[in-house]
Amino acid sequence: MATLVEKIKSARSKVKDEDFIDYIIVQNDRDGKGDYIKSWNHPTETQPTEEELG
């Protein structure tokens, strides 16, 4: 099963590992709901929809 980071990189091929330091925050609150995008501030790529990440 692909991680959320892998799904994001698949949906937005221009997103690189470094972007998860500066622009995109993926978080898991350990509440049983799994990883989610907490913050998306990428300068050129739009945040993927739930359907794209499916």
19, 41 contact by CB (below 8 A): no
Give 7's pLDDT tier (boundaries 50, 70, 90): very high
Tokens 């913050």, located at residue: 39
The pair phi, psi for residue 26, each rounded to 5°, is -105, 130
For residue range 8-35, what is the model confidence (pLDDT) as tens digits? 999 999 999 999 999 999 999 999 999 9
What is the spatial distance between Cα 54 and Cα 41, in angstroms, rounded to a whole number? Answer: 21
The pair phi, psi for residue 19, each rounded to 5°, is -65, -25
What is the spatial distance between Cα 54 and Cα 1, in angstroms, rounded to a whole number? Answer: 11
17, 3 contact by CB (below 8 A): no
31-41: average pLDDT:
97
In this prediction, residue 1 carries a pLDDT of 83
Reply yes or no on whether the pLDDT at 37 is more than 90.
yes
